[in-house]
């Protein structure tokens, strides 16, 4: 930094920056920071919106951690969902994109086919899967061909969450596949050639060239996947409404229920802040861990 | 690889053919798995009630009952739902495109002190769970009488969305900065640069953003669920869910699937006609962490 | 060609958007009319009936227009959202325990006093008490929906079983004989796959009926104290759960049932199940059923009674700007004319003495089951003081029991005793908190 006073030109650019970005920072104040402050305040009250709020201090938080088994249950359900689904999705989509990257014929067609489910609106997809997972539906028919007895996919406590995962996997798999494919196409061919000259087989090429080269992409998608998946709502709301026996009670579903079904706005706000804290810590942990497994080119 | 001259090459080639075959087998199997639900959705929508109820399932209906679509469409005011969806989609797309490209431009091409910190803040808000602000926003919109109107859904679009701002910034970064500089030397104002130079060069990115916004808005379930409580205001996403919740149609899967197909057709068309932009947009935001 | 296509595409997009934006018919209230908004829940069948009712009312009250908001699912959620946003309908149905204490409804005693058409003696005894809260009247339960047993007459005949009504006449109709019938009625194909279930639970809230028909007392009469571990309550729940878990005569939970929708009556109508519990509103829905069906009192144990859902009250919003007009609509709902239209379509049984005595005024025998009078018998039982009704407790407490506890029992995860013991303190805490804030 030079100590010289900024020139008029620079000052004007600065002014323009704040002018041009004004929609964003105005929105930030109006729709993010303001509500966040309000949310903290509300989380210290007992409030149903209809009658006047009552200040209860930390009681909502204490109750959440000490007396609410559903809170822990919903946290566990969400964590299991996230940390099974996201890695599974990344591994599968990486696999498929590596296969597609082998200069296969009909690349465009395959890519479209794999991507197609992501185009389906969530509601339509939920209804479709309700139909597929129905006790008399085609999934039972298909597994029946392999001699597996009929299952209650959505009403069996052990199967409900995996069934929702299956549906989400089908519906979101395409996005990360397209991203990985683009990442793979960006890996310079010269690296593979060099590896071949050194006698590396396909596994070694994958392990020592492909994987390091696209690890930043994997990392970024892992991070965004975890953040997004932790906030899952619609699938649980539409398919099972948290049941059976709360085995699909996602955290946000429970939050929504507290706020909009029981009108416990203070409690729901406290839950929102706990969610925020969890996501914040998770993000930090993942970022910290990145140096262990993400390879960045020196010039980045 | 060119055919080699060494005797080993034949062995390599058979192995290669084998692994090629395996690759195709996996890919074809995988895409079948992806497609079967689609097929089932479409086929179910054309069945009679008896065919839907039969087990083992009927894979090909005897006659294609297109009437299902008509009957389902008239069972609830689906034309109104469609119209509401279009109003919401267009009503959010136009302001979002404007605001996001404007802000993205500022972050990509204007120098200012504190910009990096602000950009970090922008990224941070992308990670902020919307539930944190949901309750105060609902209360706020309720207090000014906006619940049960489209306003809480449309007005925030004028203030951009972090994800699309980020996407536009990523794109604008790829345009050579020399263009701006030479224009500035010619005395062009920032607005002129934005409108005359940057925007015309950004048509693919703008198109990608439009496609994204379309998909998101067509899909949006949560915010209409919270803010719209009148059937006449429902978008398709809520209308379809409502349709099923009427006891009379609860197990009429042929109608429910017809509704799902009908709701899927527009995004499907958009997808097919804009695949290029779509893929571009995804890679733009997914590749550069 | 390319350009032409592009122009064409833009024209279509532009046209569709224009249609969406500009062709909204502006909704203006007709001059000189007061618009009363009215929200309640129901499906397609109810909608037709409400429209008939509104039609008649508007003809008699040309200065009022009724706007119907029919909410088929997540009803409480929607009403709460509207109340929170201060845009509630003028007349609507709510859970009394949740919202009447919060002052959401307007007491109507002043209107009742000055209404020349209102005479408490017109109603069957016990009816008016149901709409009162702490001495004030908020609602009048002008019709009752007593829960009875619906059964497929053909299935019983083919199985060679005496019908529930015959058993009842012999004094042998209880949960034990019910189970015996169930075992005979369930049909399996050669592979053991059930093609017809004897009984299916109508929805999770119907668990209160099981409790009540066993003589269970899970709450004190004023609903301030919970005693969920009451032995008869526990026995009832375990017995019904065992229908699916042990005897396999009733299906397990279905995905529809979990999300609060009932696929049961469709299955009953198609003859895929032989028995279900439900109320008079079913008569309208079962119109056109192929097999003959009939109704009987629900199986009962000594000291047991059926119940009706009176925890819901239809009243006037406390902040309604035109309560007089709203009252006119509300009082039409319980008036003779209103009741005749509504009950004729097959939804409720009216609680007006005159109509109870002269069923020919409204009962459409062509769609009514043979033993239609069972509804009144059961209703009379229910109204015998103290009335046996569904618990008037806050939604959260109710959901804990019917969603969480009852589901764990039905899935066989917990015995009824364990589940009820586990939820007792939590439910009591909610009740205490609700009463403390009043």
Tell me: the pLDDT tens digits for C203-262?
888 999 999 999 999 999 888 899 999 999 999 999 999 999 999 999 887 777 777 677
| Contact across the interface for B248 and C20, Cβ inside 8 Å | no
Burial class (CB in 10 A: 0-12, 13-18, 19+), B8: exposed
Contacts of B139 in chain C (CB under 8 A): 84
Instruction: Please give the Cα distance from C89 to C78 (Å, whole number).
Output: 11
- Does C295 sit behind a cis peptide bond, omega within 30 degrees of 0 on the bond before it? no
Average pLDDT over residues B143-152: 88
Domain total in chain A: 2
Strands (E), chain A: 45-46, 54-55
Q: Tell me which residue in C17, C86, C265 faces B247 most closely, judged by beta carbons.
A: C265
In a domain, A300, yes or no: no
Contact A246, A74 (CB under 8 A): yes
Average pLDDT over residues C54-69: 92
pLDDT level of residue A298 (50, 70, 90 thresholds): very low
Q: What is the CATH number of the domain that holds A260?
A: 1.10.3720.10
Centroid of chain to Cα C218: 20
| Contact across the interface for A243 and C80, Cβ inside 8 Å | no
Co-location of A236 and A100 in the same domain: yes
Contact B243, B69 (CB under 8 A): no
Chosen for mutation from C253, C255, C401, C405 (greatest number of chain A CBs closer than 10 Å) is C255
Average pLDDT over residues B215-241: 89
Chosen for mutation from C5, C8, C17 (greatest number of chain B CBs closer than 10 Å) is C17
Q: Tell me which residue in C17, C262, C270 faces B90 most closely, judged by beta carbons.
A: C17
| Contact across the interface for A30 and B159, Cβ inside 8 Å | yes
Q: How far is C77 from chain B (nearest CA, A)?
A: 10
Rounded to the nearest 5 percent, the helix, strand and coil shares of chain C are 45, 15, 40
> Which CATH architecture is the domain C148-307+393-436 placed in?
3-Layer(aba) Sandwich (3.40)
| Contact across the interface for A227 and B127, Cβ inside 8 Å | yes
Tell me where in chain C the CATH 3.40.190.10 domain(s) lie: 34-143+311-381, 148-307+393-436
CA-closest candidate to residue A221, choices B30, B282, B117: B282
pLDDT for the residue numbered C247: 93
pLDDT level of residue C168 (50, 70, 90 thresholds): very high
Instruction: Please give the Cα distance from A170 to A132 (Å, whole number).
Output: 13
**Chain B touched by C289 (CB under 8 Å):** no
Cβ within 8 Å of B, A 238-267 = 238, 252, 255-256, 259-260, 265
Average pLDDT over residues C123-151: 86
Contacts of B240 in chain A (CB under 8 A): 123-124, 127
Co-location of A32 and A165 in the same domain: no
pLDDT level of residue A5 (50, 70, 90 thresholds): low
Co-location of A280 and A132 in the same domain: yes
Q: Tell me which residue in A138, A183, A279 faces B287 most closely, judged by beta carbons.
A: A183
pLDDT level of residue B7 (50, 70, 90 thresholds): very low
Chosen for mutation from A137, A141, A253, A261 (greatest number of chain C CBs closer than 10 Å) is A261
pLDDT level of residue A297 (50, 70, 90 thresholds): low
**Chain A touched by B66 (CB under 8 Å):** no
Contact C272, C197 (CB under 8 A): yes
Q: Which residues contact B55 (CB under 8 A, 6 or more apart)?
A: A136, A141
**Chain C touched by B139 (CB under 8 Å):** yes
Contacts of B260 in chain A (CB under 8 A): 123-125, 127-128
pLDDT for the residue numbered A154: 87
pLDDT for the residue numbered B287: 61
Chosen for mutation from B53, B94, B229 (greatest number of chain C CBs closer than 10 Å) is B229
Q: How many residues does chain C have?
A: 438
Co-location of A46 and A89 in the same domain: no
Confidence check: pLDDT of A12 > 80: yes
When the pLDDT of each residue in chain C is averaged and rounded to a whole number, the result is: 87
Average pLDDT over residues C404-417: 90
> Which CATH architecture is the domain B69-287 placed in?
Orthogonal Bundle (1.10)
Chosen for mutation from B4, B27, B173 (greatest number of chain A CBs closer than 10 Å) is B27
In a domain, A1, yes or no: no
In a domain, A286, yes or no: yes
Q: Which residues contact B182 (CB under 8 A, 6 or more apart)?
A: none
Co-location of A182 and A256 in the same domain: yes
pLDDT for the residue numbered C23: 60
pLDDT for the residue numbered B289: 41
Give the HSE-up count for residue C120: Cα atoms under 13 Å, Cβ half-sphere. 12
Co-location of A83 and A40 in the same domain: no
Contact A174, A118 (CB under 8 A): yes
Cβ within 8 Å of B, A 38-97 = 38-39, 42, 49, 96
Q: How far is C72 from chain B (nearest CA, A)?
A: 6
Contact B46, B61 (CB under 8 A): yes
pTM (2 decimals)? 0.86
What is the DSSP annotation of C169-199? HTT--SHHHHHHHHHHH-EE-TTS-EEEEEE
What single-letter DSSP state applies at residue B4? P
Contact A290, A219 (CB under 8 A): yes
In a domain, A117, yes or no: yes
Q: How far is C137 from chain A (nearest CA, A)?
A: 21
Q: What's the ipTM?
A: 0.86
**Chain B touched by A30 (CB under 8 Å):** yes
pLDDT for the residue numbered C401: 92
Co-location of A150 and A46 in the same domain: no
pLDDT for the residue numbered A201: 83
CA-closest candidate to residue C85, choices A261, B85, B228: B228
CA-closest candidate to residue A222, choices A95, A48, A90: A90
* Alpha helices by DSSP H, chain A: 8-20, 22-27, 34-43, 59-67, 69-100, 107-119, 122-133, 138-145, 157-185, 189-197, 202-205, 211-229, 234-239, 251-256, 265-293
| Contact across the interface for C259 and A50, Cβ inside 8 Å | no
For A173, nearest residue in chain B (alpha carbons): B34
Average pLDDT over residues C310-314: 78
Q: Tell me which residue in C76, C84, C413 faces A49 most closely, judged by beta carbons.
A: C84
Contacts of A231 in chain B (CB under 8 A): 129-131
Average pLDDT over residues C311-332: 90
In a domain, A160, yes or no: yes
Residue C263: both structure tokens together: 């696929």
Q: What is the pLDDT of residues A231-275, one digit of tens each?
A: 888 888 888 888 888 889 999 999 998 988 888 899 999 999 999
| Contact across the interface for A186 and B287, Cβ inside 8 Å | yes
All chains having 3 or more CB pairs closer than 8 angstroms to chain A: B, C
Q: What is the pLDDT of residues C108-134, one digit of tens each?
A: 999 999 999 888 888 888 888 888 888
Co-location of A97 and A206 in the same domain: yes
| Contact across the interface for A244 and C254, Cβ inside 8 Å | no
Instruction: Please give the Cα distance from B54 to B60 (Å, whole number).
Output: 12
| Contact across the interface for C258 and A50, Cβ inside 8 Å | no
Give the HSE-up count for residue C247: Cα atoms under 13 Å, Cβ half-sphere. 23
Q: Give the CATH fold of the C34-143+311-381 domain.
A: D-Maltodextrin-Binding Protein; domain 2 (3.40.190)
pLDDT for the residue numbered C24: 62
Contact A237, A68 (CB under 8 A): no
Q: What is the pLDDT of residues B153-181, one digit of tens each?
A: 999 999 999 988 988 888 888 888 888 88
Residue B2: both structure tokens together: 């060119």
**Chain C touched by A161 (CB under 8 Å):** no
Co-location of A43 and A155 in the same domain: no
Residue A142: C-alpha distances to residues A146, B41, C58 (Å): 7, 16, 56
| Phi and psi at residue C427, to the nearest 5° | -65, -40
- Domain range for A86: 63-293
**Chain C touched by A261 (CB under 8 Å):** yes
Q: What is the pLDDT of residues A74-90, one digit of tens each?
A: 999 999 999 999 999 99
Dihedral sign, Cα of residue C78, residue C79, residue C81, residue C86: positive
Helices B67-75, B253-273: inter-axial angle, 10-degree rounding:
100
Q: Tell me which residue in B158, B257, B279 faces A23 most closely, judged by beta carbons.
A: B158
Co-location of A153 and A219 in the same domain: yes
Co-location of A29 and A102 in the same domain: no
Residue C93: both structure tokens together: 């149905």
Residue B275, helix vs strand vs coil: helix
Instruction: Please give the Cα distance from C287 to C296 (Å, whole number).
Output: 18
Instruction: Please give the Cα distance from C165 to C215 (Å, whole number).
Output: 21
Contacts of C85 in chain B (CB under 8 A): 138, 141-142, 145, 147-148
Question: What value does the CA radius of gyration of chain A take, rounded to a whole number of Å?
Answer: 24
CA dihedral A74, A80, A83, A85 (to 10 degrees): -100
CA-closest candidate to residue B152, choices B216, B229, B263, B266: B229
């Amino acid at each position: 930094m030079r100590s010289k006073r900024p020139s008029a030109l620079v000052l004007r650019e600065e002014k323009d920056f704040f002018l041009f970005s004004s929609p964003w920072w105005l929105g930030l104040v109006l729709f993010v920071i303001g509500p966040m402050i309000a949310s903290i305040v509300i989380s210290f009250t007992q409030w149903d919106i209809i009658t006047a709020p009552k200040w209860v201090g930390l009681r909502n938080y204490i109750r959440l951690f000490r007396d609410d088994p559903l809170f822990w249950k919903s946290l566990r359900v969400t964590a299991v969902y996230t940390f099974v689904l996201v890695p599974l999705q990344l591994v599968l989509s990486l696999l498929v994109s590596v296969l597609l990257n082998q200069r296969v014929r009909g690349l465009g067609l395959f890519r479209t086919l794999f991507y197609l489910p992501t185009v389906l609106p969530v509601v339509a997809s939920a209804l479709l899967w309700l139909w597929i997972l129905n006790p008399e539906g085609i999934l039972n028919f298909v597994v029946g061909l392999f001699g597996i007895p009929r299952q209650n996919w959505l009403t069996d406590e052990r199967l409900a969450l995996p069934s929702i995962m299956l549906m989400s996997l089908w519906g979101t798999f395409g996005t990360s596949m397209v991203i990985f494919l683009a990442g793979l196409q960006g890996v310079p061919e010269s690296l593979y050639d060099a590896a071949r000259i050194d006698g590396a087989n396909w596994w070694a090429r994958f392990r020592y060239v492909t994987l390091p080269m696209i690890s930043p992409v994997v990392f970024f998608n892992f991070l965004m996947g975890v953040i997004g998946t932790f906030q899952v709502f619609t699938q649980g709301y539409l398919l099972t409404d948290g049941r059976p026996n709360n085995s699909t009670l996602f955290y946000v579903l429970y939050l929504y229920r507290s706020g909009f079904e029981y009108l416990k706005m203070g409690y729901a706000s406290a839950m929102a802040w706990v969610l925020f804290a969890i996501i914040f810590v998770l993000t930090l942990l993942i970022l910290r861990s990145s140096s262990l497994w993400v390879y960045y080119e020196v010039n980045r | 690889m060119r055919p080699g001259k060494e005797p080993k090459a034949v062995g390599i080639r058979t192995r290669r053919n084998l692994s090629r075959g395996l690759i195709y087998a996996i890919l074809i199997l995988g895409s079948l798995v992806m497609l079967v639900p689609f097929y089932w959705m479409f086929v179910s929508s054309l069945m009679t009630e008896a065919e839907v109820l039969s087990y083992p399932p009927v894979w090909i209906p005897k006659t294609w009952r297109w009437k299902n679509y008509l009957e389902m469409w008239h069972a609830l005011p689906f034309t109104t739902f469609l119209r509401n969806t279009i109003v919401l989609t267009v009503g959010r797309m136009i302001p979002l495109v404007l605001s996001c490209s404007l802000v993205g431009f500022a972050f990509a091409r204007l120098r200012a002190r504190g910009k990096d910190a602000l950009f970090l803040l922008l990224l941070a808000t992308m990670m902020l769970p919307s539930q944190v602000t949901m309750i105060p926003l609902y209360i706020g919109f309720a207090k000014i009488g906006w619940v049960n109107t489209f306003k809480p859904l449309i007005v925030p679009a004028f203030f951009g969305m972090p994800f699309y701002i980020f996407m536009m910034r990523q794109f604008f970064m790829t345009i050579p900065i020399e263009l701006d500089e030479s224009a500035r030397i010619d005395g062009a104002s920032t607005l002129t640069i934005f409108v005359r130079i940057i925007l015309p060069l950004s048509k693919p990115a703008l198109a990608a953003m439009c496609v994204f916004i379309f998909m998101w808005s067509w899909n949006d379930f949560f915010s209409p669920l919270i803010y719209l409580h009148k059937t006449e205001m429902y978008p398709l996403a809520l209308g379809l869910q409502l349709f099923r919740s009427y006891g009379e149609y609860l197990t009429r899967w042929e109608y429910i699937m017809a509704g799902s197909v009908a709701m899927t057709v527009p995004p499907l068309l958009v997808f097919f006609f804009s695949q290029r932009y779509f893929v571009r947009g995804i890679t733009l935001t997914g590749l550069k962490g | 060609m390319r350009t032409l296509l592009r122009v064409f595409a833009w024209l279509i997009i532009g046209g569709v958007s224009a249609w969406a934006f500009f062709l909204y018919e502006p909704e203006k209230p007709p001059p000189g009319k007061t618009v009363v908004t009215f929200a309640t829940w129901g499906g397609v069948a109810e909608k037709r009936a409400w429209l008939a009712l509104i039609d008649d009312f508007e003809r008699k009250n040309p200065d009022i227009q009724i706007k119907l908001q029919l909410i088929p699912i997540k009803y409480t959620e929607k009403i709460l959202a509207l109340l929170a946003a201060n845009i509630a309908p003028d007349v609507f149905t709510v859970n009394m325990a949740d919202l009447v204490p919060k002052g959401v409804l307007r007491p109507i005693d002043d209107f009742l006093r000055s209404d020349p058409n209102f005479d408490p003696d017109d109603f069957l005894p016990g009816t008016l008490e149901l709409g009162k809260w702490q001495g004030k009247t908020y609602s009048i339960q002008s019709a009752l929906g007593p829960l009875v047993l619906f059964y497929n007459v053909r299935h019983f005949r083919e199985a060679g079983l005496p019908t529930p009504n015959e058993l009842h006449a012999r004094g042998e109709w209880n949960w034990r004989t019910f189970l015996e019938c169930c075992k005979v009625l369930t049909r399996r194909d050669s592979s053991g796959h059930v093609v017809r279930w004897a009984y299916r639970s109508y929805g999770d809230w119907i668990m209160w009926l099981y409790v009540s028909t066993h003589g269970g007392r899970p709450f004190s009469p004023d609903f301030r104290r919970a005693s969920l571990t009451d032995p008869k309550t526990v026995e009832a729940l375990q017995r019904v759960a065992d229908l699916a878990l042990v005897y396999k005569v009733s299906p397990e939970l279905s995905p529809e049932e979990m999300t609060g929708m009932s696929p049961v009556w469709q299955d009953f109508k198609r003859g895929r199940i032989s028995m279900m519990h439900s109320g008079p509103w079913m008569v309208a829905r079962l119109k056109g059923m192929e097999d003959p069906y009939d109704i009987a009192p629900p199986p009962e144990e000594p000291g047991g009674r059926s119940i009706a859902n009176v925890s819901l009250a239809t009243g006037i919003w406390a902040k309604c700007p035109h309560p007089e007009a709203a009252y006119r609509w509300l009082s039409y709902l319980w008036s003779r004319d209103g009741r005749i239209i509504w009950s004729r379509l097959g939804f409720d049984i009216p609680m007006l003495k005159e109509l109870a005595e002269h069923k020919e005024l409204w009962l459409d025998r062509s769609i009514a089951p043979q033993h239609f009078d069972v509804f009144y018998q059961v209703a009379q039982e229910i109204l015998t003081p103290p009335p046996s009704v569904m618990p008037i407790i806050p939604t959260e407490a109710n959901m804990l029991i019917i969603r969480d506890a009852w589901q764990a029992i039905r899935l066989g995860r917990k015995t009824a005793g364990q589940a009820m013991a586990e939820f007792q303190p939590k439910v009591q805490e909610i009740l205490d908190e609700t009463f403390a804030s009043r």
